[in-house]
Chains A and B, each alone.
Chain A
Amino acid sequence: MSEIVPPEVRPKPVVPAKPSHVAPHSSGPFVPSPQGTGGEGRGSALLGYIGIDTIIEQMRKKTMKTGFDFNIMVVGQSGLGKSTLVNTLFKSQVSRRTTSWSRDEKIPKTVEIKSVSHVIEEGGVKMKLTVVDTPGFGDQINNENCWEPISKYINEQYEKFLKEEVNIARKKRIPDTRVHCCLYFISPTGHSLRQLDIEFMKHLSRVVNIIPVIAKSDTLTLDEKTEFKQRVRKELEACGIECYPQKEFDEDMEDKSDNDKIREAMPFAVVGSDKEYQVNGKRVLGRKTAWGVVEVENPNHCEFSLLRDFMIRSHLQDLKEVTHNIHYETYRAKRLNDNGASGGNRKNTD
């Protein structure tokens, strides 16, 4: 497992996250390109090609070499398809699979936190993916405060990072175990959010990025889906719960319009599967029932591909940044204030 460092996360990098515009080796080296991307604010005509724009390529190379890590937490009652979904998202067996539920693994009496890490590679880029599972959440008869162990875990990760940062002799690359994204699984009742859902999201939306998803959505017809989503959105608004992407962190109009589109489509109604079936001559991931095959990646059937594109292909870096710049900073400010108020070093009492 390689030592990984979050690439230039603090302050917010000036270059875009997607290295879509790869450095133009090809463009004529002597064309004075008045690009002026953040350096000297004046769009002055350069007298020759300097090569500032190759920084994008350098960053890309570095990222590829060091890789990066991403921590995702899945929360929801048992049997909502969390593990299957995570496996489907990352197209590999990264989560403990519990379809062959042997009752040796009884439902735990309290919420447990179990994390599993894997390194997956794609296109030369290495990612250390950590999936944090929360078995036992919402499964008991009395679920009072079952979000507390989760909240504690998240704060513990912030504390670990803070301690490393505050050290006199710091490690070159601080290992990042903070939870970048929390997928919250909503049961597809078709009616409204459960009390437990609201309580959880109220307590944790200010601490971590929450992305709510409607689990096992192949149980809802299209009409039921639209109605349910509308109702869920209304309820979230009414309770003042802000899920990722949060409105307050939209930076410019482009961001806002992109994110607005996403916010309109949330929560995503997903279906997960790791089995393939033959449909119209193609092999697709899906679930086979007696009346048809639910295709996981078909946008007419469910919104899995939307979720995947959103989470991984466009907003992965942003998730990490918001976690670092906002959630972590909030925690840090609070901790340092508390420390200052009580005067002197204080042991971690979280």
Chain B
Amino acid sequence: GGYVGFANLPNQVYRKSVKRGFEFTLMVVGESGLGKSTLINSLFLTDLYSKDYPGPSQRIKKTVQVEQSKVLIKEGGVQLTLTIVDTPGFGDAVDNSNCWQPVINYIDSKFEDFLNAESRVNRRQMPDNRVHCCLYFIAPSGHGLKPLDIEFMKRLHDKVNVIPLIAKADTLTPEECQLFKKQIMKEIQEHKIKIYEFPDTEDDEDSKLIRKIKEKMPLAVVGSNVVIEVNGRKVRGRQYPWGVAEVENGEHCDFTVLRNMLIRTHMQDLKDVTNNVHYENYRSKKLAAVTCNGVDATKNKGQLTKSPLAQMEEERREHVMKMKKMETEMEQVFEMKVKEKKQKLKDSEAELERRHEQMKKNLEAQYKELEEKRHQFEEEKANWETQQRILEQQKLDASKTMEKNKKKGKIF
């Protein structure tokens, strides 16, 4: 034969994926003060948590919350939408019974969303918000797992990829760390906890690498984004009076192993296992519950037992409802606007009234003033007239007397 060319398929897939961008949801669980926020900042070389937006431990919670933060990371043309899911308040109360329930609810709700989206007729946009990996932080007691650790992992190993980590590992000497790791793995096996397992490969090199990682489980990590100078090199680490614990030094802690595994080699596998194993578990359990009962006991919207027509009917109904809702909303907005306008008009009317009154008053005042002035003027006029009359009279009298005098004096 000749060259067909499908060997180029991986490249095509690669190019398409790069164009689409990637999504990854990472959940971090552990008591407060175990360095979770610092580790996230270190892993992704960002300040997802900073003084302005402090990590979960700085925000005191009375009950367990589940919060998510999204960050967009771009590197070499590849775009990753990273969602970090926090669980502030986990294990911090005096009574921590069922503190895992909010976490389980969150994971289930994301599965449910995906299940619904998958069952729709219109599946153009299907965001994958399922939790792909859960980093569980173990306190570095040096002894073993706490009852809370065991309980949590037992309840979640069927729902999400659990990767246990030893937090603040710079508190343990190398010997203590070894013993601790062995003890933890022993207890994990005893309690039949299924932590994330690395897939076997045929590639020799890869399997060597994987075996090395498996030996180091659980990974003992230290986080820091503070850069310190050590022997002329600049490294990220924690400065103590007795030395610098370097974050990226394989002899000091397993941070690089975690980072490489989580981001550089196994991110896709984590997503695949989530999709193929955990999600399928959820899905089959959910659907089995429905078909078992015959009557729909759950309030699940997108059921696969319905025919596509029924599904379409359902969607149409949803759409109609949505439209109705929008209509009512618009009506409400319209009403509100009308009310506002009415109010405004009323206000301006009142304002005009007021001004009218004001002007009237002004006019009246002026009128009065003028009246006063006229009155005064009239008075003056009257006075003057009287005065004139008096003068006239006087003049008349004077002329009369003169006449008299003239008459009297005419003899001469």
Contacts and interface: CB of A to CB of B under 8 A. Distances in A.
B94 A144 contact: yes
B141 interface: yes
A301 B241 CA distance: 6
Nearest to A196: B94
Contact of A139 (B92, B147, B241): B147
Given A216-B171, A219-B168, A289-B173, A101 B33 contact: no
B204 interface: no
Interface string B90-106: 00111111000000000
A231 to B, nearest CB: 11
A79 B252 contact: no
Interface in B103-155: 139-144, 146-148, 151
Interface stretch (A53-61, A156-164, A183-191, A257-265): A183-191
Given A142-B95, A195-B94, A300-B241, A79 B142 contact: yes
B260 interface: no
Interface stretch (B74-82, B243-251, B338-346): B243-251
Interface stretch (A20-28, A290-298, A338-346): A290-298
B170 A289 contact: yes
B174 interface: yes
A289 B245 contact: yes
B242 A292 contact: yes
Nearest to A300: B241
A290 B251 contact: yes
B412 interface: no
A225 to B, nearest CB: 10
B93 A291 contact: no
Contacts of A327: none
A222 interface: yes
A345 B145 CA distance: 49
Contact of A141 (B31, B141, B151, B173): B151
Task: Report which residue of B32, B60, B143, B249 has the largest number of chain A beta carbons within 10 angstroms of its beta carbon.
Answer: B143
Contacts of B34: 189
Contact of A291 (B60, B142, B252): B252
A237 B377 CA distance: 87
Interface string B171-200: 101101001000100110010000000000
B25 interface: no
A110 interface: no
B171 A221 contact: no
A239 interface: no
A194 interface: yes
A188 B148 CA distance: 19
B57 interface: yes
Nearest to A219: B171
B239 interface: yes
A146 to B, nearest CB: 8
Contact of B57 (A80, A189, A293): A189
Interface string A287-331: 111111111001011000000000000000000000000000000
A187 B60 CA distance: 17
Contact of A289 (B95, B179, B243): B243
B238 interface: yes
A276 B372 CA distance: 114
B358 interface: no
Contacts of A301: 240-242
Given A141-B97, A188-B33, A292-B243, 20 more contacts: A77-B141, A79-B140, A103-B183, A103-B187, A107-B147, A142-B95, A143-B95, A144-B95, A187-B33, A187-B139, A190-B33, A199-B94, A218-B240, A219-B140, A289-B174, A289-B245, A289-B252, A291-B246, A298-B241, A301-B242
16 contacts: A78-B146, A79-B142, A79-B143, A101-B143, A103-B190, A107-B147, A143-B95, A144-B94, A144-B95, A192-B60, A195-B92, A199-B94, A218-B171, A290-B174, A294-B240, A301-B240
Interface of A: 77-80, 98-99, 101, 103, 107, 139-144, 187-192, 194-196, 199, 216, 218-219, 221-222, 287-295, 298, 300-301
